């Protein structure tokens, strides 16, 4: 009886490891293929049978990107928009979350439910109203148009994340500051913000990812190639008669590096911030 139980557990563990290995291959193989394509000549991509690694590795695709000012402009635009959205979203989310977490006032529940309800609306349904608003304010084809739009998309969830995190912090901390004569802003910036670093990091990473990867609004609210971001820039590389697959893969890798670096350096804070709000509501 005991031996059969051990065999069943061993078989179950083996199946779990096999499933994890297959999942790892499924997740990693597209990335390996993308890297291999970026270092190969474009005609070699269409070889039959396909080759995982190029016969003659080359950095021609990367040279074509770095030697093209327009391609560099895609990255500059993405950095300007993503960092601006992240900064303003986090600052406003901190203030809003502090209000929702620490104060009681009429309409607080209504405001909270309104913020939650905005997450039920698909962003694509807002495309036409946003486009009309941006054109009416003469912001079309500007960084400000993308920043305002992305903040509208990221702020509700950022406020909910920070509110959940502030709810896990005892109110006695900031109340002690008030007893000592400190102001509400002093209690927020000097006490709560340092304690809330994991939550702030998680919110920042979420906001940066959305702003960096967003495609639909970036395509609609910009007109000239000089204002395009990286996701839209990849689309621009699809020609009428030919696709530069190696350059598309190269710019995709370069566009993924900032996200990878941010996540690797802030992984612990990101996980702590994502799970803290679920401990105490």
Q: How far apart are CA 137 and CA 217, in angstroms?
A: 16
pLDDT of residue 52: 75
Q: Would residue 48 count as lying in a domain?
A: no
CATH at 113: 1.10.3720.10
- Report the alpha-carbon angle 44-259-57, nearest 5: 20
Q: Do 14 and 125 fall into the same domain? A: no
Q: How far apart are CA 121 and CA 128, in angstroms?
A: 14
Q: Do 19 and 119 fall into the same domain? A: no
Chain center to CA of 133 = 25
Q: CA neighbours within 13 Å on the CB side: how many for 178?
A: 10
Q: Would residue 51 count as lying in a domain?
A: no
Nearest CA to 212 out of 230, 228, 235, 226 is that of 230
Q: Do 14 and 76 fall into the same domain? A: no
Q: Do 79 and 31 fall into the same domain? A: no
Residues of the chain predicted below pLDDT 70: 1-9, 239-242, 266-281
Global pTM? 0.81
pLDDT of residue 269: 60
Unique residue bearing structure tokens 């979420």? 206
Q: Do 27 and 140 fall into the same domain? A: no
Q: Do 33 and 77 fall into the same domain? A: no
Radius of gyration of the chain (CA): 24
Q: Would residue 219 count as lying in a domain?
A: yes
Unique residue bearing structure tokens 């990812």? 209
User: What is the extent of the structural domain holding 21?
Assistant: 2-38
Q: Do 159 and 120 fall into the same domain? A: yes
pLDDT of residue 279: 44
Per-residue pLDDT tens for 46-90?
Answer: 777 777 778 788 888 888 888 989 889 999 999 999 999 999 999
Q: Would residue 82 count as lying in a domain?
A: yes
pLDDT of residue 278: 46
pLDDT of residue 125: 86
Q: Which two tokens stand for residue 102?
A: 């620490």
Q: Would residue 281 count as lying in a domain?
A: no
Q: Do 108 and 194 fall into the same domain? A: yes
Nearest CA to 31 out of 257, 265, 268, 270 is that of 257
Q: How far apart are CA 175 and CA 192, in angstroms?
A: 11
Q: Would residue 239 count as lying in a domain?
A: yes
Q: Do 68 and 33 fall into the same domain? A: no
- The count of domains in the chain is 2
Nearest CA to 155 out of 121, 107, 203, 120 is that of 203
Q: Would residue 203 count as lying in a domain?
A: yes
Alpha helices in 42-125 (DSSP H): 60-66, 69-102, 108-118
Q: Would residue 250 count as lying in a domain?
A: yes
pLDDT of residue 149: 92
Per-residue pLDDT tens for 1-35?
Answer: 556 656 666 777 778 888 888 888 888 888 888 88
Nearest CA to 219 out of 160, 133, 125, 140 is that of 140
Q: Do 75 and 192 fall into the same domain? A: yes
Q: Do 9 and 117 fall into the same domain? A: no
pLDDT of residue 275: 55
Q: Do 111 and 170 fall into the same domain? A: yes
Nearest CA to 143 out of 82, 204, 69 is that of 82
């Amino acid at each position: 009886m005991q031996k059969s139980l051990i065999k069943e557990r061993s078989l179950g563990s083996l199946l779990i490891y096999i499933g994890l290995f297959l999942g790892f291959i499924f997740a990693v193989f597209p990335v390996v293929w993308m890297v291999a394509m970026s270092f190969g000549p474009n005609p070699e991509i269409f070889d039959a049978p396909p080759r995982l690694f190029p016969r003659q590795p080359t950095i021609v695709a990367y040279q074509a990107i770095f030697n093209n000012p327009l391609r560099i402009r895609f990255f500059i635009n993405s950095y300007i928009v993503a960092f601006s959205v992240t900064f303003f979203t986090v600052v406003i989310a901190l203030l809003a979350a502090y209000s929702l977490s620490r104060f009681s006032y009429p309409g607080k529940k209504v405001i909270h439910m309104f913020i939650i309800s905005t997450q039920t609306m698909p962003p694509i349904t807002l495309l036409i109203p946003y486009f009309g608003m941006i054109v009416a304010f003469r912001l079309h084809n500007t960084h400000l148009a993308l920043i305002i739009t992305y903040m509208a998309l990221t702020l509700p969830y950022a406020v909910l994340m920070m509110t959940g995190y502030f709810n896990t912090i005892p109110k006695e901390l900031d109340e002690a500051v008030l007893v000592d004569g400190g102001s509400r802003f002093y209690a927020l910036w000097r006490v709560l913000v340092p304690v809330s670093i994991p939550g702030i990091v998680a919110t920042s990473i979420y906001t940066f990812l959305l702003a960096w990867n967003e495609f639909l609004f970036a395509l609609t609210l910009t007109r000239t190639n000089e204002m395009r971001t990286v996701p839209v820039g990849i689309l621009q590389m699809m020609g009428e008669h030919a696709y530069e697959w190696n350059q598309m893969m190269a710019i995709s890798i370069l566009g993924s590096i900032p996200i990878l670096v941010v996540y690797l350096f802030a992984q612990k804070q990101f996980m702590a911030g994502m799970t803290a709000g679920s401990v105490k509501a």
